[in-house]
Amino acid sequence: MDTQELLPPHGGYRKLKSFQVAQLAFDVTVRFCDRYISKRSRTHDQMVQAARSGVQNIAEGSEASGTSKRTELRLTNVARASLEELRLDYEDFLRQRALPLWERDDPRRRDLVARRCRTADEVARWVVDQHATGTYPELSANAALVLIGVACALLDRQLASLGKTFTQEGGFTEHLYRTRRLARELPHRPSDPSGPFRPSGTSGP
């Protein structure tokens, strides 16, 4: 059996909405930290690494799914935890500077989500458009928190789906067992009587 037939579909993480939003949050975080967090501060590296970990673990989990659903679940959960760590860093930034943390019903949150930004430049332009409603540090940090919140919500749904699939279908080991069992149950083709092992004296066509 061909290896590609044996392995279930895997990879394709670039098409995952969770990956796309997490990658955007990473790009925004790199800009945010370079602008508002001293590069000599440990927080700078921690925030960038947490954002990067969210992106990388989604990708690695997707690639690992072909041979280990358990690994995919674990790495996707690591991605979710990394983004949660990043969320706390942004909240600390706002709290330590006495800047407001937007409420869930703040219209700016809905406006940013509706904008469907695809790049850090587009997020930056949105922040500029909103400058009349707050300072740049406040707007930038809260915008990043909105993106992180969307990514975490997507990952929560992704984890729920992965967990359900794993419970119902198992992982690669179970898939391999089913494939081997099916192969054993397939009817074998009878030997060709005209082949080289035809008993002597048997008339042929």
Q: What is the pLDDT of residue 1?
A: 43
With 0-12 CB in 10 A as exposed, 13-18 as middle and 19+ as buried, what is 94?
A: middle
Evaluate if residue 171 carries a pLDDT over 60.
no
Q: At what angle do helices 69-96 and 42-64 cross, to 10 degrees?
A: 160
Evaluate if residue 189 carries a pLDDT over 90.
no
| C-alpha distance from residue 101 to each of 9, 20, 170 (Å) | 41, 24, 42
Q: What is the pLDDT of residue 113?
A: 97
Measured CA to CA, the distance from residue 55 to residue 57 in angstroms comes to 6
The contacts of residue 86 (CB under 8 Å, 6+ apart) are 25, 29, 47, 50, 51, 54, 148
Write out pLDDT tens, residues 17-76.
999 999 999 999 999 999 999 999 999 999 999 999 999 999 999 998 777 888 999 999
Q: What is the pLDDT of residue 164?
A: 84
Q: Which residues of 130-141 are buried (b: 16+ CB within 10 A; e: fewer)?
A: beeebeeebbbb
Show the domains of the chain with their CATH numbers: 7-170 (1.20.1440.60)
Evaluate if residue 7 carries a pLDDT over 70.
no
| Weakest mean pLDDT among 91-95, 152-156, 196-200 | 196-200
Write out pLDDT tens, residues 118-166.
999 999 999 999 999 999 999 999 999 999 999 999 999 999 998 887 6
What pTM value is reported for the model? 0.77
Q: What is the pLDDT of residue 69?
A: 84
For residues 62 and 95, is the Cβ–Cβ distance under 8 A?
Answer: no
147: its two tokens: 């993106």
Q: What is the pLDDT of residue 202?
A: 47
57: its two tokens: 């673990």
Higher pLDDT, 2 or 107: 107
Q: What is the pLDDT of residue 185?
A: 60
Measured CA to CA, the distance from residue 126 to residue 34 in angstroms comes to 19
Q: At what angle do helices 17-36 and 136-169 cross, to 10 degrees?
A: 150
